[in-house]
Amino acid sequence: MKVVFESLETCRLMTKFTETILQIRDNNICTGCGTCAGVCSPEAIKMHIAGGLYVPEINEEKCVNCGLCVKSCPGYSVNFKDLNMRIFKRQPSDKALGHYLGCYIGHSNDFEIRYNSASGGIASQLLISALEKGIITGAVAVKMKSINPLETEAFIARTRKQVLDASKSKYCPVTLSEALRQILREDGKFAVVGLPCHIHGIRKAEQVCKPLKDRIVLHVGLMCSHAVSYIGTEFLLEKLGVNKKQVDSLSYRGNGWPGGLSVKMKNGSNANIPLLGSWHSYWAIFSSFFFTPIRCLMCPDEAAELADISLGDAWLPELRNDRVGKSVIVTRTKIAEDVLSYMSSTKAIAVMSVDSVKVKQTQGLNLKFKKDFFGARLATLRLFGTQTPKFDIQIDRTPSPIDFLRAFYPYLSIQLSSSKHVKSLLTYVPFPLFRLYFGVFKILALL
């Protein structure tokens, strides 16, 4: 039986805060970010994989009932108004992008970095330049594990090579718990790279954990429409006829733009499939919300609005023939502007200022999904008895029947891919049919 709680005051009535964390997990509103485990000084909380997602595991004997876990949890609630005032000293003037100082499109001038990144290599170049200038002593980044190449590992990158080891997108779950613990164990200045939900958790944690706030000086947000569970990766391998136990390394992007899934086998053979651009590309499966965590439908933030700097692919018609890649960049704080200016002055990057309208165009359907369909998504989830987080966001309009159709589409895809029997059947569905299925969502979005 699911327990619904209405406020943090209710949480404080619990015998232990870890019980509330379990409720957050069991109500499927946990983002899997790992912030709760990262700030838990007695290490009573650890993250493990269940159902293809990271979820907290509790050792109640270690719990000292400090409450940092719940106070830092972005799954339960995010007070955007309060955090905007604390971080930026103002409310955002742009409802789609959040507060910003500047909008740009650019790329690294280092061809190796640019070619082997998800888009223009700005994230990797930014971390390398910040390390070289001494702005940071390390950066929380994510790579695929060497022992288990299908799982992610957050770590502190301190060199150019370590930063490049973490380049490219990871279309699978990421928990930052161990890296956050490491930050709290040592002195230094750190950057953190993460999805909007990671940034939400870290910004909340910084309000109740001063050492974390003092040490994290740069928050790099990655624009995100939704995440994908580990089951999604396994599904792709099954469709490719690849035995996951024989995988030596895996990369979701890179080798030019937009790149594609590249799998190297232990026997030396390779399997590849494009991200998009053909009837046999794999992104149509993920963009149709198959294998998406239900919590992603509850998120109103595509552009990582609480970061210092937000980065994404520059999906623009005029760049369609670009085979190396460019990044869209949104700066929100002075430190972000300073780092960008430094990279430009040292010729580490090529960058040009653009209007915010152009940034919104690069994100297109993703931004529309996150913002315009938000109220309908929450209403649909509640209609099906799903617990939703506590936000302070005002929904401007009452959802229309077409809005509910737009919201039901991703919900249906999630439910279908959550069924073992349906998942087995989906393995036999040709890639072009997934692309046609995604076309239904695009049509609904345009209506």
**CATH 3.40.640 in the chain, residue ranges:** 80-228+293-368
Res. 7: pLDDT tops 90: no
Mean pLDDT of 297-310: 98
Count Cα atoms within 13 angstroms, Cβ side, for 185. Answer: 12
Q: Provide CATH 3.30.70 ranges for the chain.
A: 8-77
pLDDT given at position 17: 65
Cα angle 184-310-272, degrees, rounded to a multiple of 5: 95
Q: CB–CB of 329/108 below 8 Å?
A: no
Per-residue CA distances from 138 to 112, 141, 193, 312 (Å): 21, 9, 11, 22
Taking residues 185-214, report their average pLDDT: 97
Tokens for 371?
A: 């913002």
Confidence of residue 1 (pLDDT cuts 50, 70, 90): very low
**In the chain, pLDDT over 70 holds for what percent of residues?**
96
What integer pLDDT is reported at residue 43 of this predicted model? Answer: 94
* pLDDT (mean) for 410-418: 97
The two tokens of residue 59 are 């050792």
Q: What is the pLDDT of residue 11?
A: 43
* Gyration radius of the chain's alpha carbons: 21
pLDDT class for 5, splitting at 50, 70, 90?
Answer: very low
- Phi and psi of 421, rounded to 5°? -70, -45
Would you state the pLDDT for residue 394?
82
Q: Which fold has domain 80-228+293-368?
A: Aspartate Aminotransferase; domain 2 (3.40.640)
In the predicted model, what is the mean pLDDT of the chain? Answer: 94
Query: How many CA atoms lie within 13 Å of 415's alpha carbon, on the beta-carbon side?
Result: 9
Pairing of strands 309-313, 327-331: antiparallel
DSSP for residue 97: T
The average pLDDT across 268-296 equals 96
Q: CA 181: distance to chain centroid? A: 20
CA distance 128 to 163: 7
pLDDT for 18 = 61
pLDDT at residue 16, rounded to an integer: 59
- The pLDDT tens digits of the residues spanning 384-401 come to 999 999 998 888 778 899
pLDDT at 420 over 60: yes
- pLDDT tier at 8 (50, 70, 90 boundaries)? very low
Q: How far apart are CA 349 and CA 109, in angstroms?
A: 5
Instruction: Identify the CA nearest to 323 among candidates 25, 81, 120.
Output: 120
Amino acid (1-letter code) at residue 335: I
Whole-number Å distance between alpha carbons of 107 and 83:
30
* Fold that domain 8-77 belongs to in CATH: Alpha-Beta Plaits (3.30.70)
Is the distance from CB of 205 to CB of 68 less than 8 angstroms?
yes
Omega into 258 within 30° of 0, i.e. cis?
yes
Residue 145: Cβ within 10 Å count: 11
14-23, 137-146, 155-164, 347-356: the lowest-pLDDT one: 14-23
pTM of the model: 0.95
Q: How confident is the model at residue 133 (pLDDT cuts 50, 70, 90)?
A: very high
Record the tokens describing residue 174, joined without a space: 């990421």
pLDDT confidence of residue 60: 86
The span from the CA of 235 to the CA of 248, in Å, is 17
